[in-house]
Amino acid sequence: MSSFIYNFKYLLLNLVLFYILVIQSSLEARRLTESDDQSQQPLLFQYHNGPLLNGKISVNLIWYGRFKPSQRSIISDFITSLSSSSKPTITQPSVLKWWSTVEKYYKLNNKPSSLVLSLGSQIMDENYSLGKSLTSKQLVKLASKGAQNNAINVVLTASDVAVEGFCSSRCGTHGSASGSIKRSKFAYIWVGNSETQCPGQCAWPFHQPIYGPQSAPLVAPNNDVGLDGMVINFASLLAGTATNPFGNGYYQGPKDAPLEAASACTGIYGKGAYPGYAGELLMDPTTGASYNANGVDGKKYLLPALFDPSTSTCSTLV
Short-list 165, 171, 168, CA closest to 137: 165
Q: What is the pLDDT of residue 43?
A: 63
Report, in this order, helix, strand and coil percent for the chain, each rounded to 5: 35, 25, 45
Q: Residue 285: is the preceding peptide bond cis (ω within 30°)?
A: no
Q: Which residues of the chain have pLDDT under 70?
A: 1-43, 86-88
pLDDT of residue 42: 57
Strands (E), the chain: 46-47, 55-64, 115-125, 133-134, 151-157, 162-163, 172-178, 185-192, 250-251, 282-283, 290-291, 293-294, 300-301, 306-308, 313-315
Q: Give the separation between CA 148 and CA 186, rounded to whole angstroms.
A: 6
* Predicted pLDDT of residue 180: 80
Q: What is the tens place of the pLDDT at every residue in 200-244?
A: 999 999 998 887 777 899 999 999 999 999 999 999 999 999 999
